[in-house]
Structure 1
Amino acid sequence: MMKFTKWNFIFLLGGIIVYIADIGVDFWVASKYFYQGQYFWAVLILCFRGLSSLVTQIFSYHWFKNDWNGTHPGKLDWIFLVHFFHCGIFIRYWFALKYGCQAAFRQDSSGDVSETDPPNIIQKQAIDVLTDINMLRVFKTFLETTPQLFVQIYVLMEYNNHNFYQYAAIIISFCGISFSMVDYQISLRKSLPDKEELEALPKLVYLFYKLLTITSWILSISLITLLSVRSSVIVLILLWSCGFAWTLKQHTTFCKSKEMEYLYRTVVGIILLFTFFNIKGRKTKAYISIYYATHTIVTVGILLVCLFWKPAVIEKVHLTIVSGLAVISLVLGLIFLAVYYKYFHPTTYCKQRTFFDEVDRRGGDNMEVGRFQNFIMQ
């Protein structure tokens, strides 16, 4: 298992600031829509915020419940109360700061970790709580940030009302989505004992692969929404159904209860609308090829429909510029994807370390296998 470093602690502090700022930005954007008389979009922005918060609180509380396994019944009561008021993420950040400070700066404090605990236990606690936070951030990203971004782009093109705050919010959202995926990939690899951390260049290639492919897809869906909202909804529901069916076929075992597992599969289906997400830790070459081949076909189909179907609403949003950005982003994104898997994928770029084989694991190794051992996102 890799170490929780001082840099990780600094980025953790930055993550708390960004999370609080993101809440303020959501209400700021909604207030702008209210001020302009676009009440529907303002309410929709807030609904996405409420939905993502509800789902993340549910997962966060159940993770606390599973991890403590009845050992802290009194604490679970106030943990539930805090999550009920949608503040559960701040408890997780508090634990991350507590364990992260001990792991990074070797400070001891009265609590779950004492000076008698071996250093690897302290490191594991810090890394596990950070991985949980980044997993919740991924859920939030695709339940809130991505739909909000889609709404902002649609409103920008539909009403041709260009404001600085709209451009700023769109750019920040695109970057936030990509960085959340990279942060999760990094923390997930830290939590797995047989994985080594990627260096700066592979992380950068991975970042551009995610940023460009997601940008192309959101621009394409925004264009078809301008043509027909009904068609856009049908396409999204169809693609979500395919993603959800795939999770059912994979027989995921991320959650301990059947209800939570189906909620997890539903959320993963939404994530798969926008980017590839490996949920079983298996080889992904075939799956990822099918996934992006499908996205390419759908994107090209959308652009062809827009090209031959030229109503006034499409002509006024500079179809050439938007479609050009979608095509360029898609091509560059696929290039970065190919480069990443050819030269920088962990199985190629890193020398894998194996601490134990399957026989050792079944033989009663003391290392605890957490929920993130069930899969790894590539």
Structure 2
Amino acid sequence: MKYTKENFIFLLCGIIIYIVDIGVDFWVASKYFYKGQYTWAILIISFRCLSSLITQIFSYQWFKNDCEGTDPEKLKWIFLVHFFHCGIFIRYWFALKYGCQAAFKQNSNGDVSETDHPNFIQKQAIDVLTDINMLRIFKTFLETTPQLFVQIYVLMEHRNHNFYQYAAIIMSFCGISFSTVDYQISLRKSLPDKDRFRVLSKLVYLFYKLLTITSWILSISLVTLLSARSSVILLILLWSCGFAWTLKQHTTFCKSKKMEFLYRTIIGIVLLFTFFNIKGRKTKVPVSIYYVTHTLVTVGILLVYWFWKPLVVKEIHFTIVGILTILCLVLGIVFLVVYYRLFHPTCYCKQRTCFDEVDRGAGDNVEIGRFQNFIMQ
């Protein structure tokens, strides 16, 4: 798979959304503070700080692994930048640099040195972009998705709706959209002998993720309206199941045991909201179990509301919310089935043993990237 101009455009869009998302978060938090709704403001800022801290830790650790044996002063400078929570911008700078070379400049110059071989530049661009997409997955499910849950919960609980709440929800959906699709693109590029991730397959995958996540967030919001304690217990129980599954998979994403434990903890949180392919392997059985479980829990929540009929049912227009929850779930499962039947790659974890003559060259003898090495374990 090549780094294309389309990938570069998606990168630019991702940078813009990332910067705008920061501004929207602080804008929404300031509005909540101004109205005296301190709980929601603190939650919005807390999710932002938590996701930033986690992404800085992983980003710095990856820089440290990649810079082994280099100048210690360089690592000190990198640590300082990450300490001030700006590490992601260094990665975006490298992504723009290598991405521009891979997508635009290589086609116009046929004479290159061995160090600037097209295959090497392509690999550099893809590896840097893959690291960013992995960090954005962490950010999405540590910050964006919980914030979306908070905003939807506030809208369901209170009748007064404001523009900044809708702006936050729109930005959350945009963040989820780009991060999930970009991660799948990175997974496809890291799996050899895979099909190309075309526009139609991206759209199907996008709708599958957005619809299932929306249905699940609405369901959890309903539980929270009934009882915040029950919601916390349910989320902890589901997180424990996801964490146990990552332990069973024997993931090897990080070099140190502490970082690997943190990684598995984060993946458990990701699995609260959506299925996550952590090893690049066949997932027919796990994904089936995952969404059957989510469907049963969602139906159970709606039945509790239907038979219990608390006063909150009338206040939140339960019929509309219930229909929307079921509709999103059903359509999401439909898009899931279509994606896995028609667009999901059928060849996993097979090392490429031969190359086309035009691709063979000095740049082929490069080290396997962090993400590819992880999924090939």
Relative distance call for 1:73 and 1:205 in structure 2 (3 A) is same
Cα deviation digits, residues 214-268 of structure 1 (max 9, x gap): 0000000000100000000000000000000111111100000000000000000
Look up the equivalent residue of 1:97 and give its one-letter code.
L
Does structure 2 retain, via aligned residues, the 8 Å contact 1:4–1:100?
Answer: yes
Look up the equivalent residue of 2:170 and give its one-letter code.
I
Query: 1 CA distance for matches of 2:350 and 2:283?
Result: 20
Does structure 2 retain, via aligned residues, the 8 Å contact 1:124–1:191?
Answer: no
Relative distance call for 1:257 and 1:352 in structure 2 (3 A) is closer
Look up the equivalent residue of 1:88 and give its one-letter code.
G
The answer to whether structure 1 residue 88 and structure 2 residue 87 are counterparts is yes
For structure 1, which segment, 76-85 or 154-163, has the greater mean C-alpha deviation from structure 2 after superposition? 154-163
Structure 1 residues 1-378: aligned runs within 5 Å = 2-106=1-105, 116-347=115-346, 355-356=352-353, 366-374=365-373
Cα deviation digits, residues 176-212 of structure 1 (max 9, x gap): 2133101111123223443342111111111110011
Does structure 1 retain, via aligned residues, the 8 Å contact 2:29–2:44?
Answer: yes
Does structure 2 retain, via aligned residues, the 8 Å contact 1:195–1:352?
Answer: no
Does structure 2 retain, via aligned residues, the 8 Å contact 1:224–1:232?
Answer: yes
Query: 2 CA distance for matches of 1:233 and 1:99?
Result: 43
Q: Kindly, what percent of the aligned residue pairs are identical? A: 79
For structure 1, which segment, 5-14 or 288-297, has the greater mean C-alpha deviation from structure 2 after superposition? 5-14
Structure 1: 5+ residue stretches without partners: 358-364
Does structure 1 retain, via aligned residues, the 8 Å contact 2:192–2:349?
Answer: no
Query: 2 CA distance for matches of 1:27 and 1:338?
Result: 38
Query: 1 CA distance for matches of 2:155 and 2:143?
Result: 18
- Report the alpha carbon displacement of residue 165 of structure 1 after superposing the two structures with TM: 2.2
Q: Which secondary structure does the structure 1 equivalent of 2:185 belong to?
A: helix
Query: 2 CA distance for matches of 1:140 and 1:131?
Result: 14
- Report the alpha carbon displacement of residue 164 of structure 1 after superposing the two structures with TM: 2.3
Does structure 2 retain, via aligned residues, the 8 Å contact 1:220–1:302?
Answer: yes
For structure 1, which segment, 214-223 or 161-170, has the greater mean C-alpha deviation from structure 2 after superposition? 161-170
Look up the equivalent residue of 1:243 and give its one-letter code.
G
Query: 1 CA distance for matches of 2:69 and 2:259?
Result: 18
Look up the equivalent residue of 1:356 and give its one-letter code.
T
Cα deviation digits, residues 87-117 of structure 1 (max 9, x gap): 0000000111111111112269xxxx96742
Query: 1 CA distance for matches of 2:317 and 2:255?
Result: 50
| TM-score, structure 2 normalization | 0.91
Look up the equivalent residue of 1:281 and give its one-letter code.
G
Relative distance call for 1:186 and 1:259 in structure 2 (3 A) is same
| TM-score, structure 1 normalization | 0.91
- Report the alpha carbon displacement of residue 370 of structure 1 after superposing the two structures with TM: 2.4
Look up the equivalent residue of 1:211 and give its one-letter code.
L
Relative distance call for 1:203 and 1:352 in structure 2 (3 A) is farther
Structure 2 equivalent of residue 362 of structure 1: none
Look up the equivalent residue of 2:118 and give its one-letter code.
P
Does structure 1 retain, via aligned residues, the 8 Å contact 2:157–2:316?
Answer: yes
For structure 1, which segment, 335-344 or 258-267, has the greater mean C-alpha deviation from structure 2 after superposition? 335-344
- Report the alpha carbon displacement of residue 72 of structure 1 after superposing the two structures with TM: 3.4
For structure 1, which segment, 93-102 or 120-129, has the greater mean C-alpha deviation from structure 2 after superposition? 93-102
- Report the alpha carbon displacement of residue 374 of structure 1 after superposing the two structures with TM: 4.6
Look up the equivalent residue of 1:235 and give its one-letter code.
L
- Report the alpha carbon displacement of residue 11 of structure 1 after superposing the two structures with TM: 2.2
Relative distance call for 1:24 and 1:367 in structure 2 (3 A) is same
Query: 2 CA distance for matches of 1:120 and 1:152?
Result: 45
Query: 1 CA distance for matches of 2:60 and 2:35?
Result: 38
Look up the equivalent residue of 1:85 and give its one-letter code.
F
Q: Which secondary structure does the structure 2 equivalent of 1:347 belong to?
A: coil
For the aligned residue pairs, the C-alpha RMSD in angstroms reads 2.1
Structure 2: 5+ residue stretches without partners: 355-363
Query: 2 CA distance for matches of 1:374 and 1:315?
Result: 53
Query: 2 CA distance for matches of 1:272 and 1:352?
Result: 23
Does structure 2 retain, via aligned residues, the 8 Å contact 1:226–1:314?
Answer: no
Does structure 2 retain, via aligned residues, the 8 Å contact 1:280–1:374?
Answer: no
Query: 1 CA distance for matches of 2:352 and 2:346?
Result: 16
Q: Which secondary structure does the structure 1 equivalent of 2:346 belong to?
A: helix
Cα deviation digits, residues 310-349 of structure 1 (max 9, x gap): 222232000001111000000010011111111111118x
Does structure 1 retain, via aligned residues, the 8 Å contact 2:281–2:349?
Answer: no
Look up the equivalent residue of 1:321 and give its one-letter code.
I
- Report the alpha carbon displacement of residue 285 of structure 1 after superposing the two structures with TM: 0.5
